[in-house]
């Protein structure tokens, strides 16, 4: 079969890439003689809105039109999906590409993306290949954006190459220059696909204090020259817990505010390729300035004033960069007086980091926002409380927005079957409109594929396609991943998900917990009895998973039964297994992150290295 794919507009790198992708897959798929001609056409006058595409094809070819070049690429992958391709995770080994007859090409469909914001943010420990494979997978799974935290996402790469928390692998040297190089390469891959780039987030406050902040690492004390710019906490202007990234500024100090504005505006000027620039204050909470002048106002009022000053600079420079502001920790409390003067510049990002994952968003929550007490806040514990704050901000800002959420950032390790967390994601996405939010960015490990990548697959499909039901998506996934006996795999993983302890693993609730212990005992039993129902990488991964969950559940059960000593012993066994086997499962399981989360949040610990 001869396959010709043309594209317009001529000279568009993204349209050219979409055409090459279509040609590459179809030439693997189509059987028989003859020729197929397909024309891809994008209307570049509308590059920014939610993507729309439409296909009209016969067995000899036809046309695929999109409202922008990125829509063309998404349309190409949707066409391939309708022809039976399955992109089950990052990397070629997770793809299923069927052989088809030309008659199968006779398809007509039209699609409007359900939400404009559909993205993933880097977390965990990642290699160059992890990042590149994930970026390649994004549009295949329906996503359109990627978020690199910090000016350079050094820490995520360094955790992997230095094999932090895994002494059984020899560390490789990794420098800031290496991080810049890998980031530039990855950003070029995003551009090639027309994907939207989000950047930075935390790190502006520490940069203003003279630190190159690309991690949560501790650092040397403040210089005397810059000390007056730092927040005064408990009577002292120091690094908060010795960590620059967690240290706020004294925003009533005009030098501190001006410095902050200069840094952000200067960055936007130097990086016009960044579509969404995230302007956040320090991480952590109860670390804001307590000086007399700062006390006259609120952190959110100071924040909005900063955002207005940055917007004025960008407007003067003629820059269209969108600024993303964050509702998180003290900034959950809406400002009392200040208002964003140019709402079109801004995107509201709601980050309910303290929510639980036992269930989906509770939309109905009403009630009062508690009074703001400087440096004595407690985070809202449930979603209903989180949502009150969102409503408060929505009363004063009705511009663009999305949720920034963490189902695959920590809690997923407590769902051993991934069916529960996938369903929570699906249901959350279904409630976004009602919450007045226009999309979802997932802050997550990129290696979230143990036992499989179903949660991200569901997220991408649900954000893209209003009509797809959970079971339809899940069945499509299981059939392609596990073959003939896919139902066995699904039944096994659904049973494991019935034992989910997402919130317990995430440190919520008492550590001695009979209910969690019972679920963990059941998960252990299920895993001990597991027998593979087929061959291939997905079944092999499932066999590994059963062993890993057995060890994890055993350690957590000891903790939940109140036997810390036995918990430590069992945990040491888990660590030994994970560390030794990590090379076998590197693309699917982030061992660094499992250990970091179980030690920092769950309360498991092993003898120090
Ligand atoms: Zn102050």
For residue 291, give every residue at least 6 positions away whose Cβ sits within 8 Å of its Cβ, in sequence order, or none: 232, 250, 252
Average pLDDT over residues 89-98: 97
Question: pLDDT at position 242, please?
Answer: 96
State residue 58 phi and psi, 5-degree precision: -125, 175
- Strand intervals (E) in 433-505: 439-445
The DSSP secondary structure of 151-211, one letter per residue, reads SS-HHHHHHHHTTTT-TTS------HHHHHHHHHHHHHHHHHTT-EEEEEES-HHHHHTT-
Give me ligand 1 centre to Cα 219, in Å.
22
Give me ligand 1 centre to Cα 245, in Å.
18
Mind listing the pLDDT tens digit for each residue in 424-466?
Answer: 999 999 999 999 999 999 999 999 999 999 999 999 999 999 9
Write down the H helix ranges in 193-291. Answer: 204-208, 254-270
Question: pLDDT at position 364, please?
Answer: 67
On the question of pLDDT at 135 being above 60, the answer is yes
Give me ligand 1 centre to Cα 332, in Å.
19
Angle between helices 537-560 and 514-528 (to 10 degrees): 150
Give Cα 118 to chain centroid, integer Å: 10
Give me ligand 1 centre to Cα 253, in Å.
6
Give me ligand 1 centre to Cα 252, in Å.
5
Question: pLDDT at position 607, please?
Answer: 63
Mind listing the pLDDT tens digit for each residue in 265-299?
Answer: 999 999 999 999 999 999 999 999 999 999 999 99
For residue 238, give every residue at least 6 positions away whose Cβ sits within 8 Å of its Cβ, in sequence order, or none: 221, 222, 230, 247
Q: How confident is the model at residue 46 (pLDDT cuts 50, 70, 90)?
A: low
On the question of pLDDT at 351 being above 60, the answer is yes
CB–CB of 185/135 below 8 Å?
no
Give me ligand 1 centre to Cα 79, in Å.
56
Whole-number mean pLDDT of the chain?
95
Mind listing the pLDDT tens digit for each residue in 558-573?
Answer: 999 999 999 999 999 9
Give me ligand 1 centre to Cα 202, in Å.
19
Mind listing the pLDDT tens digit for each residue in 312-341?
Answer: 999 999 999 999 999 989 999 999 999 999
Give me ligand 1 centre to Cα 279, in Å.
19
Q: Which helix (H) or strand (E) holds 29?
A: helix 13-29
Q: Read off the pTM.
A: 0.96
Q: Which helix (H) or strand (E) holds 310?
A: helix 299-317
Give me ligand 1 centre to Cα 232, in Å.
6
- 118: three-class secondary structure by DSSP: strand
Average pLDDT over residues 123-147: 98
On the question of pLDDT at 609 being above 80, the answer is no
On the question of pLDDT at 500 being above 90, the answer is yes
Question: pLDDT at position 48, please?
Answer: 66
On the question of pLDDT at 502 being above 60, the answer is yes
Give me ligand 1 centre to Cα 248, in Å.
9
Cα 475 from Cα 482, distance rounded (Å): 10
Give me ligand 1 centre to Cα 292, in Å.
7
Give me ligand 1 centre to Cα 295, in Å.
7
Question: pLDDT at position 213, please?
Answer: 73
Give me ligand 1 centre to Cα 474, in Å.
52
Question: pLDDT at position 591, please?
Answer: 98
Give me ligand 1 centre to Cα 550, in Å.
51
Question: pLDDT at position 47, please?
Answer: 61
Give me ligand 1 centre to Cα 394, in Å.
27
- 26: three-class secondary structure by DSSP: helix
Beta bridge partners of 584: none
Question: pLDDT at position 31, please?
Answer: 94
Give me ligand 1 centre to Cα 313, in Å.
24
Q: What is the 3-state secondary structure (H, E, C) of 452-467?
A: CCHHHHHHHHHHHCCC
For residue 41, give every residue at least 6 positions away whose Cβ sits within 8 Å of its Cβ, in sequence order, or none: 7, 8, 63, 64, 65, 66, 72
Give me ligand 1 centre to Cα 10, in Å.
55
Average pLDDT over residues 239-251: 97
Q: What is the 3-state secondary structure (H, E, C) of 524-570?
A: HHHHHCCCCCCCCHHHHHHHHHHHHHHHHHHHHHHHHCCCHHHHHHH
Q: How confident is the model at residue 25 (pLDDT cuts 50, 70, 90)?
A: very high
Give me ligand 1 centre to Cα 288, in Å.
8
Number of other residues whose CB lies within 10 A of the CB of residue 58? 13
Q: How confident is the model at residue 368 (pLDDT cuts 50, 70, 90)?
A: confident
Q: For each of the domains in the chain, give its residue range(s) and CATH number, in order of start.
A: 2-112 (3.30.379.10), 117-481 (3.20.20.80), 483-602 (no CATH)
Give me ligand 1 centre to Cα 397, in Å.
26
Distance (Å) of CA 79 to CA 108, 111, 194:
10, 11, 18
Give me ligand 1 centre to Cα 217, in Å.
24
Give me ligand 1 centre to Cα 213, in Å.
21
Strand 322-327 relative to strand 346-350, pairing: parallel
């Amino acid at each position: 079969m001869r396959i010709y794919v043309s594209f317009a507009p001529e000279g568009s790198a993204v349209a050219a890439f979409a055409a090459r992708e279509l040609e590459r897959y179809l030439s693997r798929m189509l059987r028989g003689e003859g020729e197929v001609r397909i024309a891809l056409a994008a209307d570049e006058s509308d590059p920014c809105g939610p993507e729309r595409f439409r296909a009209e094809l016969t067995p000899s070819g036809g046309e695929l039109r999109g409202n922008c070049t990125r829509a063309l690429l998404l349309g190409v992958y949707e066409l391939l999906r309708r022809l039976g391709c399955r992109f089950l995770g990052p990397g070629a080994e997770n793809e299923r590409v069927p052989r088809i007859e030309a008659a199968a090409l006779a398809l007509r469909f039209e699609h409007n993306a359900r939400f404009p914001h559909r993205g993933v943010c880097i977390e965990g420990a990642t290699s160059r290949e992890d990042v590149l494979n994930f970026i390649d997978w994004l549009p295949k799974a329906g996503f359109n954006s990627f978020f690199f935290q910090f000016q350079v996402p050094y820490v995520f790469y360094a955790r992997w190459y230095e094999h932090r928390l895994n002494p059984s692998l020899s560390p490789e040297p990794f420098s800031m220059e290496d991080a810049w190089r890998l980031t530039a390469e990855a950003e070029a891959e995003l551009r090639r696909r027309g994907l939207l780039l989000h950047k930075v987030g935390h790190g502006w406050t520490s940069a203003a204090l003279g630190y190159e902040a690309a991690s949560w690492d501790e650092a040397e004390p403040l210089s005397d020259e810059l000390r007056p710019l730092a927040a005064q906490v408990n009577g002292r202007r120091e690094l908060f817990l010795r960590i620059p990234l967690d240290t706020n500024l004294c925003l009533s100090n005009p030098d501190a505010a001006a410095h902050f504005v200069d840094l952000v505006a200067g960055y936007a000027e130097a990086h016009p390729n960044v579509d969404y620039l995230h302007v956040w204050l320090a991480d952590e909470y109860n670390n804001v300035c307590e000086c007399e002048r700062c006390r006259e106002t609120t952190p959110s009022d100071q924040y909005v004033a900063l955002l207005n000053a940055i917007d004025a600079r960008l407007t003067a420079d003629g820059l269209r960069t969108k600024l993303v502001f964050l509702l998180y920790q003290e900034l959950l409390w809406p400002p009392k007086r200040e208002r964003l003067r140019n709402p079109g510049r801004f995107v509201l990002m709601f980050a309910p980091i303290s929510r639980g994952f036992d269930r989906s968003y509770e939309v109905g929550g009403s009630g009062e926002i508690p009074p703001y007490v400087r440096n004595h806040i407690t985070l809202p514990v449930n979603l209903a409380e989180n949502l009150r704050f969102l409503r408060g901000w929505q009363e004063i800002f009705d511009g663009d927005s999305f949720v920034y959420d963490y189902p695959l950032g920590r809690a997923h390790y407590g769902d051993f079957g991934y069916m529960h967390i996938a369903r929570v994601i699906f249901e959350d996405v279904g409630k976004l409109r009602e919450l007045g939010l226009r999309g979802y960015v997932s802050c997550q490990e990129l290696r979230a594929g143990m036992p499989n990548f179903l949660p991200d697959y569901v997220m991408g499909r649900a954000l893209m396609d209003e009509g797809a039901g959970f079971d339809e998506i899940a069945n499509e996934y299981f059939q392609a991943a596990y073959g003939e006996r896919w139902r066995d795999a699904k039944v096994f993983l659904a049973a494991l998900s019935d034992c989910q302890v997402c919130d317990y693993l995430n440190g919520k609730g008492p550590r001695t917990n009979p209910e969690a212990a019972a679920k963990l005992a059941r998960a252990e039993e299920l895993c001990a009895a597991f027998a593979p129902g087929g061959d291939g990488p997905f079944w092999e991964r499932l066999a590994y998973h059963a062993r890993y969950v057995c060890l994890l559940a055993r350690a957590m059960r000891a903790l939940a039964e109140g036997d810390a000593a036995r918990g430590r012993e069992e945990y040491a066994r888990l660590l030994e297994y994970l560390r030794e086997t990590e090379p076998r499962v590197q693309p699917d399981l982030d061992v660094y992150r499992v250990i970091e989360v179980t030690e920092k949040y769950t309360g498991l610990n092993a003898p120090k290295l």
